[in-house]
Amino acid sequence: QVQLEESGGGLAQAGGSLRLACAASGNIWSISHMGWYRQVPGKERELVAMDRSINGGSINYVDSVKGRFTISRENGKNTIYLQMNNLKPEDSAVYYCYFHVWVLSGPNRQTNVEVWGRGTLVTVSS
């Protein structure tokens, strides 16, 4: 079983910064990719940033955060971060971290699993 623990949400003023963190723990064999989503009431969950570079892939951002948000990872600790700069009121949302991992499911067998954090609230005041 894999768990994600998020931290770092809160209140910021427009133009300010926040840094979110998400630590994965549990029976992780390897990580495929990981990222951050966000959701506001009444809207679908939106991909903010996805990091596939751990396996040679790319890092992608939604257009609205390019140049302001940066996703990074700390491999030895299975932790990802989202540095959010120049925040705007429209960035207000619940932010969820996401890991796509392989877990040990038996002798010489791995299963891929999608895991979500519980969400952390980010509120940006104008």
> Which amino acid, one-letter code, is at 41?
P
Spatial distance between the Cα atoms of 14 and 125, rounded to a whole number of angstroms = 6
Give the mean pLDDT of 90-108: 94
Q: What phi-psi label fits residue 91: left (phi over 0), alpha (psi between -120 and 50 degrees) or beta?
A: alpha
CB 49 within 8 A of CB 96: no
Residue 6: predicted pLDDT: 96
Does 1 have pLDDT greater than 90?
Answer: no
Q: What is the pLDDT of residues 15-26, one digit of tens each?
A: 999 999 999 999
Give 105 or 41, the one with higher predicted confidence: 41
Question: Could you tell me how many helices (H) and strands (E) the chain has, helices first?
Answer: 0, 11
Q: What is the pLDDT of residues 44-91, one digit of tens each?
A: 999 999 999 988 999 999 999 999 999 999 977 899 999 999 999 999
> Which amino acid, one-letter code, is at 94?
V
Give the mean pLDDT of 7-11: 95
Query: What's the gap between Cα 60 and its chain centre?
Result: 12
Q: What is the CA radius of gyration of the chain?
A: 15
107 pLDDT tier (thresholds 50, 70, 90): confident
Q: Give the torsion through C-alpha atoms of 48, 46, 9, 30, to 10 deg.
A: -60
